[in-house]
Amino acid sequence: MRSIAEVRVGEELPELARVVTAAAVRAYADAGGDQNPLHQDEAFARGVGFPGIIAHGMFTMGHMAAAVVAWAGEAEAVSSVSAQFRAVVFMGDEIVAGGRVSAVDADAGTATVDLWVRVERNGAIEWPIKKGRATVRLAQ
């Protein structure tokens, strides 16, 4: 767990990258019980207007949460995570999660971390999650 003495407003989290694969999305669907064909069936996804299967929004949010947990030092330190989903994630996309400390409350022993997930496609940056947020407990 990070110490309140070492965390500063404006501190950037190390970026965490991963390539989205059908196997990882399938494992997520099996673990979470969301078997929507949009996340598993190419023909179905194409039939509803996508170029192929897409990752669950919560799969992408889970990657974002992994970035803040890695920064915090342990999962138990992260007391809340929220996100606004803004774009789909396709198989083969490299999603990159990161963030910045936006507030430190010494009395409460917490930090607020603004989070995001980005993907680069065709030379342009898209933001599957642009307004994520976490509250992290800090050691005194």
pLDDT digits (tens, 9 = 90+) for 59-86: 999 999 999 999 999 999 999 999 999 9
Question: H helices of the chain, where?
Answer: 22-32, 42-47, 57-72
Contact (CB, 8 A) for 65 and 134: yes
Measured distance CA(104)–CA(8) in Å, rounded? 7
At 96, the amino acid letter reads V
What structural domains and CATH numbers belong to the chain? 16-20+56-137 (3.10.129.10)
pLDDT of residue 53: 93
Which single residue is written with the structure tokens 């992408």? 60
pLDDT digits (tens, 9 = 90+) for 79-136: 999 999 999 999 999 999 999 999 999 999 999 999 999 999 989 999 999 999 999 9
pLDDT digits (tens, 9 = 90+) for 9-41: 999 999 999 999 999 999 988 888 888 888 888
